């Protein structure tokens, strides 16, 4: 089996799906590895490092012609889709619930597609394959550094001859993997940290990291399936926004991480809440995406300063800004999944396997992932019918 590693094409994307160390491990499992010229350069992995790991560095045309399985971080863009041929497989973060139209196109081309973001999170044997977790860890850490760098004061309490600086008050909204990592990082920088989530089970985790859990009286618990949050009703959403606004006004730095699978990210920080913050405050919106984000007025990949002096940072792809660590972790995830799906040197699709049931999206001309197939049958789903 020939496995190929592409050079990512999305704007700002600096990660690579397989680092040289992981390429060497696949080689020792008898898998041939092709790497597109320059694929790892932006993450500081030169072509020579792949060659030393016994991978073959090739031009793009040769890669698509020769590969059985193509590994990527994101999703294939249009020129890539044109190159894929029937029987080839792609493995990446394809976000089929947000973009089921891509699955339809891959099925039409008879391409087998595997999406790491569909992995069942609660299966302990799937943990080494959990790219959402590994990338969220990177993002949560980096979000605090981005916030601290934009904030015009200190994070820690500092007592010096030139005066005393009070510690920054940081509020983390959404305490999944990224939020918990952000709490730990902000605490290590010396900030006073509070955090909130709609899943009450996270309270103990938040407190164990030394932060204060914010409890809202107007919104009940909203845990959904598989450990995720459920979407709130319109009434719950409004009540949550209003009650959160008081807390937001009392903080110097707010970092938002809230997501609901397959949905637009919930709006947690309204325009009024931003207006209530003091000049010099910083808000990092890790959910900022073209679909919207957690913060009114945040723009993906941009820093906006509001009229009242609040810096809003749209930071939806922070793992791409720490490409070496993020790629190393992603490589381990994608290699573990690939090896799990490989028997006798070939990719074997088995929808009866509970890991594969979550990640295999298309095979032999069909969308076989049930949740994605259901979206494609839904006439009200815009993405599926554009």
Could you list the residues that contact ligand NAD (CB under 6 A)? 121-122, 127, 130, 132-133, 136, 173-179, 197-199, 202, 227-229, 232, 257-261, 266, 268
Bridge partners, residue 288, by sequence = none
CB closer to ligand NAD out of 240 and 311: 240
Using alpha carbons, list the distances in angstroms from residue 213 to 173, 207, 257, 282: 10, 7, 15, 20
CB closer to ligand NAD out of 31 and 268: 268
Least Cβ distance, residue 361 to ligand NAD (angstroms): 19
CB closer to ligand NAD out of 30 and 221: 221
* Structure token digits, residue 312: 């809003």
Least Cβ distance, residue 371 to ligand NAD (angstroms): 15
E strands in 137-225:
158-160, 163-165, 169-173, 192-196, 212-213
E strands in 208-249:
212-213
Least Cβ distance, residue 186 to ligand NAD (angstroms): 16
Least Cβ distance, residue 287 to ligand NAD (angstroms): 8
Report CA 334 to chain centroid distance, whole Å: 14
Least Cβ distance, residue 174 to ligand NAD (angstroms): 3
CB closer to ligand NAD out of 113 and 256: 256
Q: Closest CB to ligand NAD belongs to which residue?
A: 176
CB closer to ligand NAD out of 120 and 365: 120
Least Cβ distance, residue 63 to ligand NAD (angstroms): 32
Sole residue written with tokens 């509020």: 171
Residue 346's CB is within 10 A of a number of other CB atoms, namely 11
CB closer to ligand NAD out of 36 and 130: 130
Helix, strand or coil, per DSSP, at residue 20? helix
CB closer to ligand NAD out of 158 and 260: 260
Q: In what helix (H) or strand (E) does residue 361 lie, and over which residues does it extend? A: strand 360-363
* Structure token digits, residue 331: 């490589």
What distance in Å separates the CA atoms of residue 360 and residue 118, rounded to the nearest whole number?
8
Least Cβ distance, residue 268 to ligand NAD (angstroms): 6
Question: How many residues are recorded in the chain?
Answer: 386
> Cβ neighbours of residue 174 under 8 Å, at least 6 residues apart?
196, 197, 256, 257, 258, 259, 268, 287, 294
């Amino acid at each position: 089996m020939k496995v190929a590693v592409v050079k990512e094409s999305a704007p700002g994307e600096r990660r690579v799906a397989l680092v040289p160390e992981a390429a060497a491990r696949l080689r020792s499992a008898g898998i041939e590895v092709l790497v597109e010229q320059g694929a790892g350069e932006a993450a500081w992995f030169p072509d020579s490092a792949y060659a030393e790991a016994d991978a073959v560095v090739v031009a793009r045309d040769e890669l698509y012609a020769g590969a059985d399985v193509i590994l990527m971080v994101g999703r294939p863009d249009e020129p890539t889709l044109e190159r894929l041929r029937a029987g080839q497989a792609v493995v990446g973060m394809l976000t089929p619930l947000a973009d089921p139209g891509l699955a339809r196109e891959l099925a039409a081309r008879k391409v087998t597609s595997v999406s790491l973001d569909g992995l069942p999170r609660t299966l302990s044997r799937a943990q080494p394959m959990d790219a959402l977790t590994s990338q969220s860890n990177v993002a949560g850490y980096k979000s605090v550094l981005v916030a601290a760098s934009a904030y015009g004061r200190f994070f820690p309490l500092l007592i010096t001859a030139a005066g005393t600086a009070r510690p920054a008050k940081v509020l983390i909204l959404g305490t999944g993997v990224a939020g918990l990592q952000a709490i730990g990082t902000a605490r290590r920088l010396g900030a006073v940290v509070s955090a909130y989530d709609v899943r009450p089970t996270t309270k103990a985790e938040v407190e164990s990291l030394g932060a204060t859990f914010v409890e809202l009286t107007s919104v009940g618990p909203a845990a959904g399936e598989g450990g995720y949050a459920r979407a709130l009703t319109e009434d719950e959403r409004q009540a949550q926004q209003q009650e959160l606004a008081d807390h937001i006004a009392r903080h110097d730095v707010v970092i938002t991480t809230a997501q609901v699978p397959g949905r637009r990210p919930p709006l947690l920080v309204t325009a009024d809440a931003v207006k209530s913050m003091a000049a010099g405050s910083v808000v990092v919106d890790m959910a900022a995406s073209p679909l919207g984000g957690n913060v009114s007025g945040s723009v993906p990949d941009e820093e906006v300063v509001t009229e009242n002096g609040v810096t809003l940072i749209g930071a939806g792809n922070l793992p791409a800004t720490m490409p070496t660590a993020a790629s190393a972790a992603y490589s381990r995830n994608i290699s573990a999944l690939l090896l799990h799906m490989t028997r006798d040197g070939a990719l074997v699709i088995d929808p009866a396997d509970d890991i594969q049931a979550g990640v295999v999206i298309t095979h032999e001309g069909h969308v076989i992932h049930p949740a994605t197939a259901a979206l494609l049958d839904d006439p009200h789903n815009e993405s599926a019918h554009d």
